[in-house]
């Protein structure tokens, strides 16, 4: 029999897994939103003045930092 014992910190593993899943989902959603925004404005990714990363936090918070109709 082996003398090696493996100890796992279940809380640490759950926390790390939760962070990994959260960041993966966030990156995937941001990429999808960027693609959709680019298609809507028919522009290249780096030519558009605003991306979904600029717009989504404003939509989520319900607070518009830009005057309506002036997305320059």
Q: According to the model, what pLDDT value does residue 24 have?
A: 94
Element of type H or E holding 19 = helix 10-41
One pLDDT digit (tens) per residue for the chain, 72 residues: 567 888 889 999 999 999 999 999 999 999 999 888 888 887 554 555 666 666 666 556 665 455 555 554
Q: According to the model, what pLDDT value does residue 29 have?
A: 94
Q: 0.85 exceeded by the pTM?
A: no
Instruction: Identify the domain containing residue 53 by its residue range.
Output: 10-61
Whether residue 68 is contained in a domain is answered as: no
Q: According to the model, what pLDDT value does residue 72 have?
A: 46
Whether residue 53 is contained in a domain is answered as: yes
Q: According to the model, what pLDDT value does residue 42 have?
A: 72
Rg of the chain over Cα atoms, rounded to whole angstroms, equals 21
Whether residue 56 is contained in a domain is answered as: yes
Whether residue 70 is contained in a domain is answered as: no
Whether residue 1 is contained in a domain is answered as: no
CA distance readout (Å), 1 to 4, 5, 8: 9, 11, 20
> 29 near 23, Cβ under 8 Å?
no
Whether residue 4 is contained in a domain is answered as: no
Whether residue 3 is contained in a domain is answered as: no
Number of domains, the chain: 1
Whether residue 25 is contained in a domain is answered as: yes
């Amino acid at each position: 029999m082996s003398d090696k014992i493996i100890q796992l910190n279940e809380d640490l593993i759950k926390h790390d897994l939760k962070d990994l899943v959260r960041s993966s989902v966030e990156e995937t959603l941001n990429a999808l939103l960027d693609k959709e925004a680019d298609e809507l404005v028919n522009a290249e990714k780096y030519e558009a003045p605003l991306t979904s990363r600029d717009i989504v936090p404003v939509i989520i918070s319900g607070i518009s930092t830009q005057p309506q109709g002036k997305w320059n």
